Amino acid sequence: MLKLLNLGNLPGQQSMLIFHALARLGFEGLVVVSPKVPLASIGYFQDVTKEIDLDYCKKTGVPVMRREVGGGATYLDENQIFYQLIWKKGNKLFPRNIKEVFSYFSQPACDTYKDFGIEARFRPENDIITKNEKKIAGEGGGDIGDSMVFVGGILMDFDYQIMSKILKVPDEKFRDKIYKSMEENLTTMKRELGKMPDRNEVVTSLINNYEKLIGKLKPITLTKDTINKMIELEHWFNSDEFLYKKTPRIPKGVKIREGVEILYTIYKARGGLIRTAQEIKSNVIENIGISGDFQFYPKGELNGLENKLKKTKRKERAIISKVEDFYKDKNIESPGVEPEDVTDAIMEAK
């Protein structure tokens, strides 16, 4: 029988550290939790210096955390209820294909919204939207050790103002545009219903809907082993090495001269934003960094793709051939991001 951890509100980062710890401990089941203290979170493949206004977060005391699943930068607080599903790779109760994981396990959240009179459906690659096409939940997933995880959040309410402030933007006019765009395209239960729903009622509905899909869940409490693993992981997750791990840097000792260029690009694929930073020498890729808010499974293979592309002639045919071969050899799944998208992102770099 799969297990249930209904944790209420946990201090800030612990609400996200919990699924990282449980995945490493072989837990299988559902976690329902909200952060007691607000925090900013970025996806595993993102570059924190490009996505988050770190000065603002430091000034206001908002902690910043990288999670080990894909998706974009976001603001988390107690008005969001997070569902975190964890299972061991190979468990036959769960879909094997990442695309199927997202569509299959989004249904309980959609049904929960419907229980409160809000029509909602899954929209590929990782959103839940209302009948008016407004986003009401974003989701992420991927591999952690020998486990798979799928995470998402029920938006009872959302602080658009704070979210617009934690994001890195080129200027304040752009920040205002982000705020207005979020108000127009992102909704919540409070906005849809005209009032704040009762948290306990939402949690009960969410758990019931997951049980309809995956069977009865056995309630348990946090163990000492889990708490110790969370404490251990907190040191690593708060380290500069992990938080800044995807920041593209010009390699040390390389002199920028005639024939040597550093190129950057931001490319929008159906499955998310792709950023590249490339060191090009005589039209050959010497080094490349790839980041973004996409999903990529197995997540550790993104570094392998970067290595595969080194010493590649910067020509479309050569690049797509290598990317396609890599996807096939490593059984890569990146919903909404095809080899053609990776190639286009590289070729469009300026």
Tens digit of each residue's pLDDT (9 = 90 or more) over 8-36: 999 989 999 999 999 999 999 999 999 99
% of the chain residues with pLDDT over 90: 88
Model confidence at 262, pLDDT cuts 50, 70, 90, reads confident
Q: What is the mean pLDDT of residues 77-98?
A: 95
Angle between the 98-115 and 199-214 helix axes, to the nearest 10 degrees? Answer: 140
Q: Which domains does the chain have, with CATH numbers?
A: 3-243 (3.30.930.10), 260-347 (3.30.390.50)
Residue 115 reports pLDDT greater than 60: yes
Tens digit of each residue's pLDDT (9 = 90 or more) over 30-54: 999 999 999 999 999 999 999 999 9
Residue 254 reports pLDDT greater than 50: no
Residue 315 reports pLDDT greater than 80: yes
Which H or E element spans position 235? Answer: helix 224-237
Q: What is the pLDDT of residue 132?
A: 95
Q: What is the pLDDT of residue 174?
A: 86
Q: Which two tokens stand for residue 124?
A: 């590929």
Q: What is the pLDDT of residue 12?
A: 81
Strand order in the sheet with 74-76: 64-66, 39-42, 74-76
**Does this model's pTM top 0.95?**
no
